[in-house]
Amino acid sequence: MIKTAEGFNVEKIRNDFPILNRKVNGRNLVYFDNAATSQTPQQVIDCIVDYYQNYNANIHRGVHALSQEATEAYENARRIVQRHFNAKDFKEIILTSGTTHSINLVASGYEKFMTAGDEVLVSGLEHHSNIVPWQMLCEKTGAQLKVLAMTEEGVLDMQSFEDLLNFKTKLVMVNHVSNALGTINPIEDIIEKAHAVGAKVLVDGAQATPHIKPDVQALDVDYYTCSAHKICGPTGVGMLYGKQELLEELPPYQGGGEMIDQVSFEKTTYAGLPNKFEAGTPNICGGIAFGKALDYMNSIGFESIAAYEQDLLDYATQRLNEFDNIIIYGPNTDAKTAVISFNFQGLHPYDVGTLVDKMGIAVRTGHHCAQPIMEFFKIPGTIRASFSFYNTKAEIDLFIEALQKANSMLL
């Protein structure tokens, strides 16, 4: 049964987010920059406070009570993440500082496996964080970087994908959802076809995970990444999922404490998974709060979240289309998450963003760390409004009023 947005108690949910009560430039905050960072519910804030008030200690080494409690909470969070993504084993969940760290970890490890003549295929819809590490890998190894083009509608050209894919392709990189346009990419299809030529697939899930609950086993994805700060968790923590056999082969990314088995000056042996990739004291509090954030999101339910956000997206799109000079980039509302990337004909996104900020509205303007997409559309940037399950139609109405005012001032 498909859940609808009816019965979704947004007012009750909003009470969980203290920041939504604050004022900006004298107005009630309207926060539509959720694709950059989501807000934090009181339950997660309490979890962070509880850690520092009651059991702040280093993990995995102390025999004392605090260290044991912290270790237990941190490893419990790893299992929450494992269950959420339906990974086969907790060893497949590496807690990182976020998606960028996760991607760099994998890219760095592949230096060992890549040689000149190999190819890596990167989608044209990627965030810079899923482009630059692969360019660096190619520079170091002599491998070739190929780009999977996107179409005018802001979706991947799947015919060109099949053309580009070949037996030299070692890795395919694609985001589950585009940060700049909200496009939901056909990752099942991409993974299946990439596997047919023996390529591994890394999916950047940073923009998908706030809206979709991925099942890594069902997807048969090789690597999947996300960042907690986009899923109601704190900044500076995230996940790398990797299939166990692949992570076993991948060399360590950083050396240090925690990641070792035995150290001597002659020879050091590494710890097993997941510790091999978690050198140094990790973001303990962040990891624990990441688990809490996933629990919070699951208590609301991803089906309910998706249905409610779809309703917001449809409404906002309909209201934006009231402007004669609106240009919306990317696919139709049924093929993307709750993100609208747009411009007004004749207006610079920076001007519009500056004025709506004065009216208490937070949107992102600029190239969204996806300059190749802006280059494709020949624009300096867009205004991006991204919605979360705690936003309301009343806020969208305020946004539209602010945009009307900005238009009248600028045109």
Partner 1 sequence: MSSIVEKQNEVVDEFSMFEDWMQRYEYMIELGKSLPLIDERYKTDDNIIKGCQSRVWVHADMNDNDKIEFTADSDAIITKGIIAILIRVFSDQTPKEILEANTDFIDEIGLKEHLSPTRANGLVSMIKQLKMYALAYSKA
Give the footprint of partner 1 on this chain (CB under 8 A): 25, 348, 350-351, 354-355, 358, 365-366, 380-381, 409-410
Token readout for 397 is 């109405």
How far apart, in whole angstroms, are the C-alpha atoms of residue 225 and residue 101?
A: 9
For the CA atoms of 254, 256, 261, 265, the dihedral, rounded to the nearest 10 degrees, stands at 110
Provide, rounded to whole angstroms, the least separation between the CB of residue 132 and partner 1: 19
How far apart, in whole angstroms, are the C-alpha atoms of residue 148 and residue 162?
A: 10
Provide, rounded to whole angstroms, the least separation between the CB of residue 321 and partner 1: 24
Of 295, 312, 183, 316, give the one whose Cα is nearest residue 231: 295
Bridge partner residues of 270 (DSSP): 260
Whose Cβ is closer to partner 1: residue 30's or residue 201's?
A: 30
Q: Letter for the amino acid at 34?
A: N
How far apart, in whole angstroms, are the C-alpha atoms of residue 339 and residue 34?
A: 9
Provide, rounded to whole angstroms, the least separation between the CB of residue 351 and partner 1: 5
Whose Cβ is closer to partner 1: residue 18's or residue 380's?
A: 380
Contact 174, 126 (CB under 8 A): yes
Provide, rounded to whole angstroms, the least separation between the CB of residue 52 and partner 1: 27
Whose Cβ is closer to partner 1: residue 351's or residue 397's?
A: 351
Spatial CB neighbours of 16, under 8 Å, sequence gap ≥ 6: 41, 42, 43, 296, 390
Q: In whole angstroms, how large is the CA radius of gyration of the chain?
A: 22
Whose Cβ is closer to partner 1: residue 128's or residue 358's?
A: 358
Provide, rounded to whole angstroms, the least separation between the CB of residue 409 and partner 1: 6
Token readout for 309 is 């956000």
Residue position matching structure tokens 């990891």:
287
Whose Cβ is closer to partner 1: residue 59's or residue 403's?
A: 403
Contact 172, 144 (CB under 8 A): no
Number of H helices, E strands in the chain: 14, 17
Provide, rounded to whole angstroms, the least separation between the CB of residue 354 and partner 1: 5
Whose Cβ is closer to partner 1: residue 45's or residue 410's?
A: 410
Whether residue 232 lies in the annotated active site: no
At 384, which helix (H) or strand (E)? Answer: strand 382-386
Token readout for 145 is 């970087």
Catalytic residue numbers read 369
